[in-house]
Amino acid sequence: EDQVTQSPEALRLQEGESSSLNCSYTVSGLRGLFWYRQDPGKGPEFLFTLYSAGEEKEKERLKATLTKKESFLHITAPKPEDSATYLCAVQGPLAGKLIFGQGTELSVKP
């Protein structure tokens, strides 16, 4: 069964304290791994898509990496405005359909 597991469930950081979020997946035929950010009361906002092991993508203080079994979202020198829930999703053999993890709630304190 296709599955996505994110850890930790919650992460509290001080401003400037770098860290990583983990997304482990099992899927038959990965066609893409997606990262989203969700702010309270809003819909998930697309961040990155990764397609193959070894691929990396960056956006401001965020960098996403992908291996054959997991993905990491690295946050460098985070700021309070980075506080949000970060969701990981994979696309398997069914075109268009994403399987989402439960998310990591990130809180960055000034």
Partner 1 sequence: DAGVIQSPRHEVTEMGQEVTLRCKPISGHDYLFWYRQTMMRGLELLIYFNNNVPIDDSGMPEDRFSAKMPNASFSTLKIQPSEPRDSAVYFCASSSLDRGYEQYFGPGTRLTVT
Contact flag: residue 46 with partner 1 (CB under 8 A):
yes
For position 76 contacting partner 1 by CB under 8 A, the verdict is no
Q: Which of 24, 92, 98, 107 binds partner 1 (CB under 8 A)?
A: 98
Q: Which stretch binds partner 1 (CB under 8 A): 17-25, 38-46, 52-60, 73-81?
A: 38-46
Question: Which of 13, 75, 90, 103 contacts partner 1 by CB under 8 A?
Answer: 103
Q: What DSSP state is assigned to residue 82? A: G
Q: Which amino acid is residue 33, in one-letter code?
A: L
Tokens representing residue 2 in the block: 């296709």
Query: Rounded CA gap, 97 and 66, in Å?
Result: 19
The candidate with the shortest Cα–Cα distance to 101, out of 24, 11, 13, 46, is 24
Strand order across the beta sheet in which 62-66 lies:
3-7, 19-26, 70-75, 62-66, 56-59
Question: Does residue number 96 form part of the binding site for partner 1 (CB under 8 A)?
Answer: yes
With binding defined as CB under 8 A, does residue 104 bind partner 1? no
Residues that bind partner 1 (CB under 8 A): 31-32, 34, 42-46, 49, 87, 91, 94-103
